[in-house]
Amino acid sequence: MTDEQLLRYSRHILLNELGIEGQERILATHVLVIGAGGLGSPAALYLASAGIGKITLVDDDSVDFTNLQRQILHTQARVGMAKAESGRQALQAINPEIAIVPLPQRLAGEVLAAQVASADLVLDCTDNFATRHAINRACVQHKKPLVSGAAIRFDGQISVYDLRRADAPCYHCLFPEAADVEEMRCAVMGVFAPLTGIIGTMQAAEALKLAAGIGESLAGRLLLLDALSMEWRSVRFGKDPACAVCGTGGS
Ligand SMILES: [Zn+2]
Q: What is the mean pLDDT of the chain?
A: 95
186 has a pLDDT exceeding 70: no
Q: Measured in angstroms, how far is the CA atom of residue 80 from the centroid of ligand 1? A: 38
Q: Measured in angstroms, how far is the CA atom of residue 135 from the centroid of ligand 1? A: 12
Q: Measured in angstroms, how far is the CA atom of residue 132 from the centroid of ligand 1? A: 13
> 35: Cβ–Cβ under 8 A, 6 or more apart, which residues?
58, 59, 123, 124, 125, 126, 127
136 has a pLDDT exceeding 50: yes
Q: What is the pLDDT of residues 198-232, one digit of tens each?
A: 999 999 999 999 999 999 999 999 999 999 999 99
With 0-12 CB in 10 A as exposed, 13-18 as middle and 19+ as buried, what is 92? middle
Q: What is the pLDDT of residues 77-88, one digit of tens each?
A: 999 999 999 999
Q: Measured in angstroms, how far is the CA atom of residue 149 from the centroid of ligand 1? A: 17
Q: Measured in angstroms, how far is the CA atom of residue 197 from the centroid of ligand 1? A: 28
Number of H helices, E strands in the chain: 10, 8
For the segment 90-111, the average pLDDT, to the nearest whole number, is 97
Q: Measured in angstroms, how far is the CA atom of residue 18 from the centroid of ligand 1? A: 31
Q: Measured in angstroms, how far is the CA atom of residue 175 from the centroid of ligand 1? A: 9
Band (pLDDT 50/70/90 cuts) for residue 117 is very high
